[in-house]
Amino acid sequence: MAKVIPVVNQKGGVGKTTTTVNLSASLALQGFKVLVIDLDPQGNCSSSFGVDKETLGAHAYHLLLGHAQLSEVIYQSEIDNLHIVPTNMNLAGAEVELVTEMGRESRLSHALHGHVDAYDLVFIDCPPSLGLVTLNALTSADSLLVPLQCEYFSLEGVSQLLRTLELVQSRINPKVKLDGVVLTMFDRRNKLSFQVQEEVQNYFGELLFETSIPRNVRLSESPSHGKPIALYDKRSSGALAYEALAKEFIKRLGLKKSKKTKKSKKASK
């Protein structure tokens, strides 16, 4: 059974997309079958995998609104084991259009249910809000991953996120839980990074991953080349950190590769 894992934090610029792209790529390169769903209308996750947002056919918007099936919105990435459901600015309309729909918070869950069994993991790159699109991600989720940037106020908004999680747990999706918090843009030369680490450790305890992601310019360059860091510069500190995070993640979630030998579907787009 695929585990569905939204990468969520309602703040922008904290490393959600960078973490979704590079953690999922590392896991795929380690042999897991991974689907990545881009639910941020900015589509940075899609471009980071080299998908051209301007020429997309059906995408995440159509999936959420029920205008397309999952199999119609899956694209093959450069990594064999990694498929992506891309998006573009049109997804911004979903937030409003979903409001009047029946079962508006469960659209994604229904679209995925029974259709993601060929994958070990489904990562969802969430937009920087706790609106209906993020709610759809939480409703379909098994496990949440929360990136926090090493800066002042990194914990700001976290209590609101946890309250939303509790609401989803109690009303819609009892199985979802927070499985980890990861610090991003850690700068060893800056005392602040260590202070934030201590503060987050005190707040989250064991939920904080031991691996922190360093600030690394190669990580910020790789999206413009349409490649995850593991393909762009696999020896960079950023690549090594995401590889280490992937290993820690596998251990923490007790992940096992599926034995299915079914060939990956190739998108015809």
Ligand X SMILES: Nc1ncnc2c1ncn2[C@@H]1O[C@H](COP(=O)(O)OP(=O)(O)O)[C@@H](O)[C@H]1O
Q: How many residues make contact with ligand X (CB under 6 A)?
A: 17
Contact pattern for ligand X over residues 19 through 58, marking x by CB under 6 A = -------------------------x--------------
* 93 counts as binding ligand X under rule CB under 6 A: no
Residue that the structure tokens 């908004």 belong to:
157
Closest approach, Cβ 125 to Mg ion, in A, equals 6
47 contact choice in ligand X, Mg ion, none (CB below 5 to 8 Å, kind-dependent)? none
Q: Which is nearer to Mg ion, 91 or 120 (CB)?
A: 91
Whole-angstrom distance, CA of residue 87 vs CA of residue 57: 10
> In 10 A of CB 102, how many CB atoms?
6
Q: How far is the CB of 100 from ligand X (least distance, A)?
A: 28
- Between 215 and 227, whose beta carbon lies closer to ligand X? 215
Give the count of alpha carbons within 13 A of 20, CB side only: 35
Distance CA 169, CA 199 (A): 26
Measured distance CA(25)–CA(170) in Å, rounded: 32
- Select the residue interacting with Mg ion from 9, 14, 16, 112 (CB under 5 A): 16
Tokens of 27: 């896991």
- Find the part of the chain contacting Mg ion (CB under 5 A) among 8-16, 73-81, 91-99, 252-260: 8-16
Q: Give the H/E segment covering residue 112.
A: helix 107-112
Nearer to ligand X (CB atom), residue 202 or residue 220? 220
Give, in order, the Cα–Cα distances in Å from 58 to each of 11, 91, 257, 265. Answer: 28, 11, 29, 16
For residue 193, state whether it binds ligand X (rule: CB under 6 A): no
Q: Does 11 bind Mg ion (CB under 5 A)?
A: no
Q: Hey, how many other C-beta atoms are within 10 angstroms of the C-beta on 116?
A: 20
The footprint of ligand X (CB under 6 A) covers 12-18, 44, 128, 184-185, 213, 215-216, 219-220, 238
The footprint of Mg ion (CB under 5 A) covers 16-17, 40
